[in-house]
Structure formats: structure tokens, C-alpha cells
Amino acid sequence: MAMKLEILSKEVIKPDSPNHLQTLHLSLFDQFLPTTYVSAIFFYDDHQPDQEEILVQKLKNSLSQTLSLFYPLAGRIKEGVTVDCNDEGALFTKARADVLLSDVLRNPSDAGLVHKLIVSPDRADPGTWPLLHVNVVFFRDRGFAVAVSASHKLCDAASLSMFVRSWTKAAKGFADTVNPEFSGSVFFPPADISVEFPPFLEQKTKSKTKSFVFGPLMIEKLKIRASCALLVTQATRVESITALLLRCMTNSRRPKTEAVTEFAITHTMNLRPRVPLSFLPRKAIGNFFFLPLLKETSENKMEIQETVSKLRKTKEELNELITKDSEDSDTNSDEAAKERIVSAMLSFLCEVSPEAETYAVSSWCRMSFYDADFGWGFPVWVAPGSVDKTQVVLMDAKDGEGVEAWVTLPETDMAEFEHDDELLVYAPPSLSIRTK
């Protein structure tokens, strides 16, 4: 479905009060993350046309208040290693689409349509890009969308969720009682800029993104299939769906010849709920993830139970890295654990062969994106803005029990993957239609 987007206005929103920190150092992993954005688009189905300007002004005012807490997002990247917290501001855009919100909801697999709602920065000079941009899009009916994009140099998905939750509180007149902490460089100390990092899961071929919805009933059936007494007795929904997707994705990539293909598989693990508060505050803003590596080949059929077992083992290995010194009274045990995590991640990244086919999975489940109520109700749908670098993003469905998987693959692979009979048993196309 075609959609035209008319930009009505652009404005720079600055914090309503100045900050006191002038320079924020990027962490070790922030430095080599690609200059992209982590984005989410929130769709709402009810506004009064004559209240449009009031709605937009409310968003602007509350955004300005929120930027006072999240002030680095109003700054600019400097020389790729620091953020100049100069209060230069975030980009706020208002636009109008020539389609109905119901048209968008009825075209769930049209990721290109959804991604048009994201405002792309001028890519001439990344140092001049705003670190946060918001696009408010009004559809032809009473529906509208709020697209929020934050620099991946400063935010992961959990950080974006925390920012949006704080913004919604401000929009409803409530002050956030807990200030965010930009502590990435404390947890992952910066590296010498002369250090060369391996390419970070680059996607060089033309790709296509589609979404697949797993309903609660099918998830339970898949969890039963993924569990077994000898390996993992109770597989989680994320483990089960991830194992199925990886099986189908690698099947779509298996060569037609006898040549063996290497697969490098990563699945992002949010560190915040896994480490003690002495390591990391729960409101830490930054890229606080662990990135374990699974190495497979096209000779392996990627049986679901075996893959779930391997995914579970990576969690246990991370827990061991964290708790190895838990009984040690040495005050340096926390620092030793952080060093082990950093060392393990760097080791994994360096193990990725340039010839390997890479698959990366990131779970946004349980991150409360559907709680984004600015004062006009909860969103009818939330979609990730871009998954071209992550390849798979898992999000809660609106009911909180189902899961929506956004999958990016090379176009030739997607043509086979989206028709995989095994996948369609658990994520039938009929479940992908959203309703208000």
C-alpha cells in the first residue's frame, strides 16, 4: 500500500532547564555501535481534529520537561567518543499521512509503510545529527502516531522505554521521581580510540522486513514442543520463539550445494534485571546488554529443543560471570565481574568470522511499551521503527501474552522464510491483522 507523508512543521525542542554536565563519555561498546537509532512507533486511535494543536503543544512542553532529566539526548556526539551536552535540542516533526490508521493496521506485514513514519536525519555528518527525534503523524481518520527515535550510541531498547515512560508522566502532569543515570562509561569503561573493533553484524545485502504474530495458544504449544526432561524442562516463550525462528531462518539460508555455511547467532540479554543494584541502577540509561554467541553450521538442523538448551546455557554462563565472586568480601569483586563480562563480549565478537552468516535476536518483551499513555489512552499498536541491524526484534503483543516478531532477512531468504510451513503453524497470517 502506498502512503504519502506531508511534513507540516519541524522544530527543535530544548530542555526547559539547563543541565550541569558538559561532557558525557561514551562507553566501550557505545563507541563501536553503528550510528543508527533505536525507534518505536506508538499508534493511537482517538483525537479530536479541532484539538490537534493542543495535543501537539502538550507533547512539546512535556518533551522539553523530560529532556531536562535526559539531557544528553539534547546534545550532540563529538568525535565519536563523547556527547557534548550542549542543550542543542531534539528534533520534533509534525506530519500528515494520506491514509487511514485502519489502513495501516490492516497491512501488518508492510514494514516499509511503518518505517516511513520515522524521520531520517541528514546522513552527511553524523556529528550533527540530533540524538533524539520525534515525529507526530496524523492520519485521515481520528488516528495518529508518535514515532520516537533515540541514538543507539546512548540508548538501548530498555533505555528508550524508560524515556517514553518518563515523558508520558510529564504529559499527564506528574514529575518523574527517579532521575535516569547515564552510567555506561562507568560499567563499560571507554577504550582507546585507536583500538579497532570487529564489524558489528553488518548487513550488506538488500533486505526485507516482515512481522509475524504468535498468539498465546500457539505459544503454549510451542513451549511444550521446546521443553523436554533431558534438556530444558520449562522453556520460556522467548526461548521457544527464538529457537523456532532461528531454525526457519537458517533453513531459508541453507546452500543448494554441498558447501557448508557458518552461522553466527547472537541474542541480546538486558543486564539490568540480571545484575545486582551495586553493579547497575535499574534506571541506568545506555547500552547495557550482554551479547553471547552461538556458532552453528548448515549441517546442523537446529532442532528446537537443542537450541533452547544452548540459549539457556548462555544465561547460566552470564550468571556465573556475575556471581563468581559473590561470596568474596573483597570490595573489588564488582569490578572483577564487570571485567569478566566485557572480556567475554569482546571474545565473542572477535570469534565472528567475516564469512559467517550472522543472525541477531533482541527481545523487547516485558519493557512496557504498551503502557505509553500520554493522557489519551494506551496505544492500539506499537511497532519497532527499524530492525535492519538486529534482524529479529521480539515485542509483546497488545494483550501482553502474545508476541510479535519483526524479522529482517535478505530478500531472497525472506521469500522462502515467510512461506515456511513450520513457521506458519505457530504464526498464521490471520493473527497478524491488528484491530483497534
Residues with catalytic roles: 152, 373
Sign of the CA dihedral running 203, 421, 406, 198:
negative
Reported residue count of the chain is 436
Burial (CB count within 10 angstroms: exposed 0-12, middle 13-18, buried 19+), residue 333 = middle
The DSSP letter of residue 71 is G
Largest separation between any pair of C-alpha atoms in the chain: 64
User: In terms of Cα–Cα distance, which of 263, 384, 287 is closest to 342?
Assistant: 287
Number of Cβ within 10 Å of residue 331's Cβ equals 7
Cα separation, 6 vs 65, whole angstroms? 28
Residue with cell 482517538: 46
User: What is the three-state SS of 245-301?
Assistant: HHHHHHHHHCCCCCCCCEEEEEEEEECCCCCCCCCCCCCECCCCEECCEEEEECCCC
Exposure letters 57-82 (e unless 16+ CB within 10 A, then b): ebbbebbbbbbbbbbbbbbbbeeebb
Pairing of β 262-270 and β 357-363: parallel
C-alpha span between 382 and 57 (Å, rounded)? 22
Residue among 26, 45, 134, 111 nearest 380 (CA): 45
- Residue 214 φ then ψ, to 5°: -105, 115
H or E stretch at 207: strand 207-214
In angstroms, rounded to a whole number, what is the distance separating the alpha carbons of residues 290 and 276? 15
Looking at the DSSP bridge assignments, the partners of residue 10 are: 93
Q: Which of 405, 432, 390, 431 lies closest to 248, judged by CA? A: 405
Instruction: Give the strand pairing for 144-151 and 289-290.
Output: unpaired
Q: What letter would DSSP give residue 370? A: G
What is residue 9's DSSP assignment?
E
Q: d(Cα 26, Cα 384) in Å, to the nearest integer? A: 24
